[in-house]
Amino acid sequence: MQNKRSSVIHKTVRRVKSIFGFRTRYLQLESRNELLEKKVNELSKGLNRLRYRHERQTSKAHERIGVLTDLLGELMYPDNVNKQFDTAQDKVWSTHHGFRYVTHHLGEDWKLTRIPYWEVILDNVPECHSILEFGCNIGSNLKAINLINPNYDLSGIEINPFAVDQVRKLPFVKAEEGSIVNHDMGDKYDFVFSRGVLIHINREDLPVVFDNMVKHSRKYIMLFENYNDEDEALDGYGKLVTGGESGESYQFWANYPKLFKSQHPDWELISSGVRTEKGRTPVKGDLYWAIFKAPEEQPSE
């Protein structure tokens, strides 16, 4: 009888283990069967210890990769690291924080993370052949677009030289190093967009960046940025940050479509959404996309 019961307990414990794996938190089970309760709670505590150790090791590994990336950046782009930048935001993106962002995102499963929303967005920009991304980093958006439709002519502007070197490895992208504040591609594109980039632009430069998007666009502009009703400055970039001046603000969540529209009222908002959900009203922090259509050209008299 005792044997049968203990084999049931072991079976149950194995099942709990297979269901929760290492992700389990400490399970506080209350059971009438004291032996079972004790076993499961011990197992749960053990798993929690393993999870904690695993997280600590992962965060140590991240720290070490960060330090190595800083060294690599200093060795590969010494002129860039020692350059004077116009704003503190330009400096962090052009140097260590930017290098770390690249190494972090080289491991991103971009097909999984990007294809779903690009399928929705591209449906909203008909008759479009050329696309320019402001702040393209290593080209994860451009890779997703190219996979959905390889006929687009794709370009990007990017401030970080390490990112530019990565994106230049993509044969279907023309990438130029420069700041979206003043870089001139010398051409116009059907569709110009930014994703997660305007949130990092110094507030004084934002109107200039809007003008630069307008200057480069023939048909559409999309802003795909973190939403907030009011402009809000957040300190820091989280764990990846290095090289910032203390007290600076490094992220600005805002109602970007509203700011753009007030500066360029003749551009018409034609669609918007939150990630894959077209038409959804954003709440604070949502990655909100809004597509504007260029005003019709007036026929010359």
Spatial distance between the Cα atoms of 123 and 115, rounded to a whole number of angstroms: 13
Confirm or reject binding of residue 250 to ligand SAM (CB under 6 A): no
Confirm or reject binding of residue 180 to ligand SAM (CB under 6 A): yes
Stretch 20-49 residues interacting with ligand SAM (CB under 6 A): none
DSSP β-bridge partners for residue 122: none
Q: Which amino acid is at 282?
A: P
Confirm or reject binding of residue 160 to ligand SAM (CB under 6 A): yes
- Window 123-142: contact mask with ligand SAM (x via CB under 6 A): ------------xxx--xx-
Indicate the pairing of strand 232-234 with strand 173-177.
unpaired
Confirm or reject binding of residue 159 to ligand SAM (CB under 6 A): yes
Confirm or reject binding of residue 163 to ligand SAM (CB under 6 A): yes
Q: Which C-beta is closer to ligand SAM: that of 24 or that of 141?
A: 141
The number of beta carbons lying within 10 Å of the beta carbon of residue 39 is 19
Closest CA to 194 of 289, 80, 94, 78: 289
Confirm or reject binding of residue 158 to ligand SAM (CB under 6 A): yes
Q: Which C-beta is closer to ligand SAM: that of 135 or that of 257?
A: 135
Q: Which amino acid is at 21?
A: G
Indicate the pairing of strand 153-158 with strand 130-134.
parallel
Confirm or reject binding of residue 157 to ligand SAM (CB under 6 A): yes
Report whether 245 contacts 150 (CB < 8 A): no
Confirm or reject binding of residue 73 to ligand SAM (CB under 6 A): no
The number of beta carbons lying within 10 Å of the beta carbon of residue 58 is 10
**Residues in contact with ligand SAM by the rule CB under 6 A:** 90, 93, 98, 135-137, 140-141, 157-160, 163, 179-181, 195-197, 200
